[in-house]
Amino acid sequence: MSRLLICPPDFFGIEYEINPWMRLSNRVDHEQAVKQWHGLMRVFEHDVGVTLERMTPVAGLPDLVFTANAGIVVDRTAVVSRFRYPERQREEAHFEGWFRDHGYEVVTLDKELYFEGAGDLLGFPDCWFGGYRQRSDIRAFPFLSERFHREIIPLELVDARFYHLDTCFCPLSGGDLLYFPPAFDCYGQIAIAERVPPERRLSVPEDEALKFACNAVCVGKHVVLPSGCPTTERMLRAKGYSTHPVPLDEFMKSGGSAKCLTLALD
Amino acid sequence: MSLHQETVLLSGHIIDSLLLAKVLDTILMMGGTFDLEDVRIGKTREEPSRARIAIQAGSKTLLDDILKAIQPHGAAIEREADCRFESAPADGIFPDDFYATTHLPTQIRIHGRWVDVDRIEMDLGILVDEQASVVRAVPMGTVRRGERIVIGRDGVRIIPLQRPRERDVFGFMDSQVSAERPHGHVIADIAARMHQLRERHRQGQAQSNVLLAGGPAIIHAGGREALAWLIEEGFVHLLFCGNALAAHDMEADLYGTSLGYGLTAGRAVPHGHEHHLRTINRIRAIGSIEQAVASGVVKQGIMAACVRQRVPVVMAGTIRDDGPLPGVITDSVRAQDAMRAVIPGVGLALLVASTLHSIATGNLLPATVPTVCVDVNPSVPTKLADRGSFQAVGLVMDAASFLSELARLLGRPV
């Protein structure tokens, strides 16, 4: 992975409440948010060495900044998200336009087959995991599995605070997994254990999970994650990863962090 | 029928994700039951799997609740079509593509609504008369030209048997046949059922009749008194038999022999082979078995007990019958109809010592009726199962021992 799609936070703010983190009364300090976002991008460009592809922000679409939900990209094919909430459905056309303009073959899903992109579909090279119930519809996965010839293990998200898979589940480049087990029911936990051996499962403590420690971006041996997660960082370093904590609390007001602010393009 | 059913499809990577397990657990935890009708497991990790699950629940509300709970996990209600009909082209002839029934509870879908098929029985067609609100299984021979008969398989569903609440031998509903299996607990379970059914019968409840279909070996083997006692005490409410059982039962009363053998001495008596003929002739002269009992000519035994207790007897003739006795139906289609007419009230069927009558009766019984097949020859219960009556419990033992033990357990003085 060397290219990430990002969208500057020019119009970022809390204008509606569609997850337990969002409260209209909890105003975003816009200047601070912009500062944090640029800090994150600096880390990506200078410390991690990725190329950033910038989308043009759109007034009235405060969450366009969370490009993880644009869709998923596999080689030159992009599957555009179908958002569950009308508030974010207006983003779909912009993401689709960006993919088309950049030469991707665009795949769209049936209407009402909700699928929120890389927010809910993550994985290792041979096995993907799909989060469902909170946002994405489980019925999207058989379609995607067939389209891309990949196994997709559906995982029910049972805690509304972890409403996307990428808020509690982060596959790492070395085959390790950073995750918060209580965000899944026992079936999901067993299914994960079947695919990822115990020594590769890094279980994040609850206080750090609530700081979105799992909403991390892994590029090679670099892991970029929200600051304030020392236990998670220790576990990662013990596995040979370099950690890059970045303060992103303005975005946490909206229920997003490092991973939500990026979409892996390749 | 109080069972509500819907079929759902679940597909994708449902095995390793434990999604199938989760959906099935959810159904059970909510109080429903399921039948996995078709499971196709992907051959590789990438290949999806697929399961077709028939869900049953005791009420429509519960079924809806279950469906609501499993739909977010991807269970999609199978799109179902209404059933199709075609008119019978002539009397006694079904349309070419007619749906042939099983003896399991069956429903057909008419205008989007599932309707129970009445009088279900194996190997029949389904007649639909919407004006008369009739949906019934009918034999080929009785259909009339122009009557609407269900064709094809769309919009027809059969409902698997639920395990009965009673945790007895009938709960297993399998027809494993073995002479080595202990009989005691099986007979005890039958006796317990018969005890309950007698109470229900006395209260006039539905499906409380005990049917016994038997052959003449009951008399030869020495089970006559036990069976007569069971009838006199109100434990048996219907009797299916042939010419022979009735003839030998009354021969025993009139001559003390069964097919010429002295029942007490156990050897052939002079001219004993004529006794059953003389018995048949005598009853024919009197005009009916009822009259023979009423006039005191026949005093004891199975037929006398049936007459006294007003137990309906259907006697179906066969090609080798002597006489036959008055009341024996020699037209086998008419005999089937006479048997069929009394089947709906049956709550337990005992098929004892007769290949012919056991299989004929088995064919007429819905799978929901607990059934026992008793024969010294293991091939009889096996044959019954092979012909589809899988619910029958097979018991390899002689008729007299079975009936005597059954009567003893039900209180007959030894």
Kindly report the CATH number assigned to the domain that includes residue B318.
3.40.50.10690
Contact check, Cβ <8 Å, A151/B19: no
Whether omega before B324 lies within 30 degrees of 0, making that bond cis, reads yes
Is there a single domain that holds both residue B326 and residue B278?
Answer: yes
| Angle at which helices B60-70 and B19-29 cross, to 10° | 150
All residues of chain A having their beta carbon less than 8 Å from the beta carbon of residue B50 are none
d(CA A171, CA B235): 70
How high does pLDDT run on average in chain A? Answer: 96
A94, A164, A222, A244: the active-site residue: A164
Does residue B349 lie within any of the structural domains? yes
Single residue among B46, B77, B108 that ends a domain in this structure = B77
Describe chain A by its helix, strand, coil percentages, rounded to 5. Answer: 35, 25, 40
Does residue B249 lie within any of the structural domains? yes
Contact check, Cβ <8 Å, B18/A188: yes
d(CA B62, CA B42): 32
Question: Computed over its alpha carbons, how large is the radius of gyration of chain B?
Answer: 25
All residues of chain B having their beta carbon less than 8 Å from the beta carbon of residue A152 are 12-13
Report which DSSP code applies to A109.
P
d(CA B228, CA B218): 11
Taking the complete model, does pTM exceed 0.80, yes or no? no
Cα dist from B384 to A89, B174, B177, B213, B376, whole Å = 63, 12, 11, 13, 14
Is there a single domain that holds both residue B271 and residue B297?
Answer: yes
d(CA B197, CA B237): 10
Taking 50 as the pLDDT cut, the residues of chain A under it are none
| pLDDT > 90 in chain B, percent | 72
C-beta pairs of A100-108 under 8 Å, 24+ apart in sequence: A102/A53, A103/A76, A104/A73, A104/A76, A104/A77, A104/A78, A105/A76, A105/A77, A105/A78, A106/A77, A106/A78, A106/A79, A106/A80, A107/A77, A107/A78, A107/A79, A107/A80, A107/A147, A108/A79, A108/A80, A108/A82
Is residue B290 within 8 Å of B218, Cβ to Cβ? no
User: Residue B17 corresponds to which tokens in the numbers above?
Assistant: 């994700």
Helix (H) or strand (E) holding B24: helix B19-29
Contact check, Cβ <8 Å, A152/B12: yes
**A227: CATH:** 3.75.10.10
Single residue among B77, B109, B136 that ends a domain in this structure = B77
CA distance to partner chain A, nearest, from residue B12 (Å): 5
Contact check, Cβ <8 Å, A142/B73: no
Single residue among B54, B77, B100 that ends a domain in this structure = B77
d(CA A178, CA A168): 8
Q: What is the pLDDT of residue B316?
A: 97
Is residue A121 within 8 Å of A129, Cβ to Cβ? yes
Is there a single domain that holds both residue B123 and residue B60?
Answer: no
Contact check, Cβ <8 Å, B21/A127: no
Residues ≥6 apart with Cβ < 8 Å to B358: B213, B215, B351, B352, B373, B375, B380, B384
Does residue B164 lie within any of the structural domains? no
Task: Specify the amino acid at residue A52.
Answer: L
CA distance to partner chain B, nearest, from residue A68 (Å): 23
Residue B80 pLDDT grade (very low, low, confident, very high; cuts 50, 70, 90): confident
pLDDT at B391 over 90: no
Q: Which of A52, A131, A54, A130 is nearest to A94 (CA)?
A: A54
Does residue B414 lie within any of the structural domains? no
A77 lies in which domain range? Answer: 3-264
| CB-nearest partner of A138 from B18, B21, B72 | B72
Q: What is the pLDDT of residue B8?
A: 93
Residues ≥6 apart with Cβ < 8 Å to B165: none
Alpha-helical regions (H) of A176-248: 186-195, 206-209, 230-238
Q: What is the pLDDT of residue A243?
A: 98
Q: What is the pLDDT of residue B157?
A: 84
Q: Which residue has the tokens 């079924």?
A: B63
Beta-carbon neighbour count of residue A103 at 10 Å? Answer: 8
CA distance to partner chain B, nearest, from residue A116 (Å): 16
Is there a single domain that holds both residue B67 and residue B90?
Answer: no
Is there a single domain that holds both residue B59 and residue B94?
Answer: no
d(CA B352, CA B246): 14
Q: Is the torsion defined by CA of B341, B343, B345, B350 positive or negative? A: positive
Alpha carbon B299 to chain centroid, angstroms? 31
| CB-nearest partner of A153 from B17, B21, B74 | B17
Helix (H) or strand (E) holding B212: strand B209-214
Is there a single domain that holds both residue B194 and residue B257?
Answer: yes
B33 lies in which domain range? Answer: 4-77
Q: A186 catalytic, yes or no?
A: no
Residues ≥6 apart with Cβ < 8 Å to A250: A28, A29, A32, A33, A36
d(CA A118, CA A164): 9
Q: A38 catalytic, yes or no?
A: no
Q: Which of A80, A93, A158, A61 is nearest to A121 (CA)?
A: A80
Residue B177 pLDDT grade (very low, low, confident, very high; cuts 50, 70, 90): low
Is there a single domain that holds both residue B283 and residue B323?
Answer: yes
Does residue B297 lie within any of the structural domains? yes
- This complex has an ipTM of 0.90
B180-200 per-residue burial string, b: 16 or more CB within 10 A, e: under 16: eeeeeebbebbbebbeebbee
| Angle at which helices B355-364 and B332-342 cross, to 10° | 60
What is the arithmetic mean of pLDDT over B30-36?
Answer: 93
Report pLDDT digits (tens) over B395-410: 999 999 999 999 999 9
Does residue B163 lie within any of the structural domains? no
d(CA B192, CA B359): 25
Q: What is the pLDDT of residue B273?
A: 83
Q: Which of A263, A265, A261, A225 is nearest to A246 (CA)?
A: A225
Is there a single domain that holds both residue B242 and residue B377?
Answer: yes
Report pLDDT digits (tens) over B226-277: 999 999 999 999 999 999 999 999 999 999 888 777 767 677 778 888 899 9
Does residue B99 lie within any of the structural domains? yes
Does residue B10 lie within any of the structural domains? yes
Is there a single domain that holds both residue B140 and residue B260?
Answer: no
Is residue B137 within 8 Å of B126, Cβ to Cβ? yes
Establish, for the pair of chains A and B, how many residue pairs have beta carbons separated by less than 8 Å. 57
State the total domains in chain A: 1
Residues ≥6 apart with Cβ < 8 Å to B389: B103, B175, B359, B362, B363, B365, B367, B371, B373
Is there a single domain that holds both residue B71 and residue B99?
Answer: no
Residue B123 pLDDT grade (very low, low, confident, very high; cuts 50, 70, 90): very high
How high does pLDDT run on average in chain B? Answer: 91
All residues of chain A having their beta carbon less than 8 Å from the beta carbon of residue B21 are 187
Residues of chain A in Cβ contact (below 8 Å) with chain B: 126-127, 132-133, 138-139, 141-142, 145-146, 149-156, 185, 187-188, 190-191, 194-195
State the total domains in chain B: 3
Contact check, Cβ <8 Å, B48/A194: no
Is there a single domain that holds both residue B315 and residue B174?
Answer: yes
Residue scoring higher pLDDT (B157 or B129): B129
Q: Is the torsion defined by CA of A24, A26, A31, A33 positive or negative? A: negative
Max avg pLDDT among A33-42, B6-15, B62-71, B152-161: A33-42
Is there a single domain that holds both residue B153 and residue B267?
Answer: no
